[in-house]
Amino acid sequence: MTGWTWRSPRGRLLSGMVGVTALYAGVRLGGASSRVLWACAVLPDVALLYGAASAPTFDPLPRRAVRPYNVLHSPGVPLVLFGAAHALGSRDLRLAACGWLAHVAVDRAFGYGPRARDGSRL
What's the whole-model pTM score?
0.90
pLDDT of residue 3: 55
Q: Could you tell me which residues are beta bridge partners of residue 115?
A: 121
pLDDT of residue 9: 87
CA distance 119 to 101: 22
pLDDT of residue 56: 65
Residues (pLDDT < 70) of the chain are 1-4, 55-58
Per DSSP, helices labelled H in the chain are: 9-30, 35-42, 46-52, 63-72, 76-88, 91-109
Instruction: Name residues whose C-beta falls within 8 Å of residue 101's C-beta, 6 or more positions apart in sequence.
Output: 18, 19, 22, 75, 78, 82
CA distance 106 to 21: 11
